[in-house]
Amino acid sequence: MQAYLDNSATTRPCEAAIRAMEACLREGWYNPSSVYKPSVEAFRRLREARENVLKPLRGSGCDLIFTSGGTEANNLAVLGAVTRMRGRQTVAVSAVEHPSVRAAFDALGALGHDVRVIGVDTRGDLDWAALEKAMDDGASFVSVMQVNNETGALLDIQRLHRTVNGRALIHVDGVQGYLRVPFDMKYADLYTLSSHKIHGPKGVGALAVKKGVKLAPRQIGGGQENGLRSGTENTPGIAGLSAAVTEMLDLGPDMADGLMAKKLRLIDGVRRAVPDVIVNGPDPAVAAPHIVNLGFPGVRGEVMLHALEGEGVCVSTGSACSSKKLKVSGVLTAMGIKPNVAEWAVRFSLSPHTTEEEIDYAAQKIGTLYGLLTRVQRR
């Protein structure tokens, strides 16, 4: 049996997305910037896709810029916004962000901007006093994750909005939250999402931008996407993204509850199999419904990962963007977890299509493998 429990790395494209992409490649392949009828129709479908993607964000008053993925959207949000501001800026970012955000802030620091890294506690919650201090010192831009990609920790978006209180632009990286955790654009100025995390194709993402927010383009040329992302739009990919959004929305408002029930079933099954298992991060019941980070005492995460792989179970040890570097998670250490404990970490991430059979199979294999691996190490 196979059990794919690494949906935060990527998801299997849904049939609706595949069909929409095929139809676009076969029949709707015209350039939406041209002026003859088939191209005008392609432009109309592009506009409809924008509206469809914004709908779950209550973003009717926002622009949506299509990008090549979450990384480009994060770069455009962070670098594009701060570049448009005059002079040296004070900017704030949490200590547990995705590499595409962290690296963008590193670049800002190299340019002379004052970068404030806001710490987190063992649950992944922000140091709110440190954020308030940054705001008092004149921070003009704040970037945080809606859902942490390694632990499932949820950011209190409304508290963030109250703390900033209009003094700075707010960017929320919603790559792991979009459609799985509710969001309202009234609490942010910029919001990032990625297609392949929600059963759409790879190579497509988007940045929602509140009206009036000014950005400097990161990619210049023909002026597509309101001049912020030049280049002919990836219409097949965008069609796939829009179809995936529709399919996820069709699952209804109970989708998140279903995900949470599956996640808690997985944790319960693993605890029965490995009573000493550790939950890294927040209480799973109040975290995102689809991500949990577990530690298996005495067994390195990559060892458990490869042992599970041999049984057809796919998991990860952290962010897929840096998982091949085999180092202790910076997210977990930023949360105050000791390096030797962080080495035991394995991330499990589910999707609406994850079955109870997959979950039960994975839990059973974890128990068997943990017993074998700990006996081998004791020798």
Nearest to 293 by CA among 221, 224, 341: 341
Q: What values do phi and psi take at 30, rounded to 5?
A: -70, 155
Give the span between the Cα atoms of 11 and 27, in whole angstroms.
Answer: 26
CB 149 within 8 A of CB 169: no
CB 243 within 8 A of CB 16: yes
How does strand 169-173 pair with strand 62-67?
unpaired
Q: Which residues contact 324 (CB under 8 A, 6 or more apart)?
A: none
Q: Find the helix or strand (DSSP H, E) in which 154 lies.
A: none
Beta bridge partners of 190: 171, 209
CB 47 within 8 A of CB 71: no
Q: What values do phi and psi take at 348, rounded to 5?
A: -115, 130
Burial class (CB in 10 A: 0-12, 13-18, 19+), 138: exposed
Examine the residue annotation and report whether 62 is marked as an active-site residue of this protein: no
Active site residues: 321
